[in-house]
Amino acid sequence: MCPWAWGSEPVFRRLRAALDRRVRWRRAYAILFDHDDDPPPDPAAETAWYARYVEEITAHTLAPRAVRLSRVAASSWPSSLVAGAAELQGAAVAERVLRRLRESVFVLGEPADTLARALAAARGVPGLDPVRLESDAASAAVLERVRADRAEARRPVPEVLSVQDASPHPGAARTTLDGGSRYALPTLLFRSPAGYRAVPGWRPFAAYAAAVDALCPGLLSDLAPLPPDEALEHHRSLTGPEAELLAEGGRAPSHAVRVDTGNGPLWLHPQEAAVHPTTTPWAATGL
């Protein structure tokens, strides 16, 4: 649910492709909107403020934003539990479920902040077993995993406690309500037998490449962009910045279904568009 993490997805997708089968990539769900956060005294004013905040961030990242944000998310827990549960069904399913959860906020403007909404956002993902997803999302094992992720996010390495950088989002650790700290989102932590490197905040691809090279010289092999239609076939959903970075010539896929947002298009594979929440009004779900 972090707009900076959403805006980082083009670079992260490129990085994952460049490190494919060379590293183990693990996500930790840090819980941006927590159970103990105080409810806003004026939800409408809070939503208007947060919508402007997201708009300012997407002016930097060029990522899509919702034309209208219905509300600030009440909790990150439901979407984190569903994303964690989806990982039990394989990497491809997990990637697509997580993408849908992000798009619920930043394309639809309807945060998946209840279990029912998070499950509905994942509906129709190819290869997904929805019955298992619902069961696993409610399981003690997945809850314990997300609790561990939350705790890990609140033990930041010293290097991110203070960060000086010209990025509009340098990524210094955030102070928590109990006086502790948590990683800013997004933060990538690279580990190898040679040590670790933390890369916090909103960064260009070169920053991540430098961290990888410092730990494992020669490990990273950047890949040539795919033809636009192949990029869409692989990812099923592309933002404008992702097409720029991942598709030859930065071109939009020729057979994509275009979804207009408040900040540029989202391109959907036709099969994805047939089951995507943008084509299934949330009101029809009864949530």
Q: pLDDT tens-digit profile of 101-120? A: 999 999 999 999 999 999 99
> What whole-number distance in Å separates Cα of residue 149 and Cα of residue 273?
32
pLDDT tens profile 14-49:
999 999 999 999 999 999 999 877 788 899 999 999
Which positions ≥6 away from 224 have C-beta within 8 Å? 248
pLDDT above 90 (res 272): yes
How much of the chain exceeds pLDDT 70, in percent? 97
Residue 282 banded pLDDT, cuts 50, 70, 90: very low
Low-confidence winner among 176-180, 189-193, 262-266 (lowest mean pLDDT): 176-180
Instruction: Write down the pLDDT at residue 19.
Output: 93
Residue 247 banded pLDDT, cuts 50, 70, 90: very high
> What whole-number distance in Å separates Cα of residue 99 and Cα of residue 77?
16
pLDDT tens profile 190-216:
999 999 999 999 999 999 999 999 999
**E-assigned strand segments in the chain:** 174-175, 181-182, 187-192, 195-200, 237-239, 257-261, 264-268
For range 73-89, the mean pLDDT: 97
Residue 281 banded pLDDT, cuts 50, 70, 90: low
Instruction: Write down the pLDDT at residue 39.
Output: 80
Instruction: Write down the pLDDT at residue 141.
Output: 98
170 or 287: which carries more pLDDT confidence?
Answer: 170
pLDDT above 60 (res 287): no
The mean predicted confidence, pLDDT, of the chain is 94
> How far, CA to CA in Å, does 54 sit from each of 105, 110, 136, 147, 260?
11, 14, 31, 27, 17
Maximum pairwise Cα distance, the chain = 53
pLDDT above 60 (res 283): no
Instruction: Write down the pLDDT at residue 280.
Output: 65
For range 237-266, the mean pLDDT: 95
For range 79-97, the mean pLDDT: 97
282 or 125: which carries more pLDDT confidence?
Answer: 125
Read off the DSSP letter of residue 285.
G
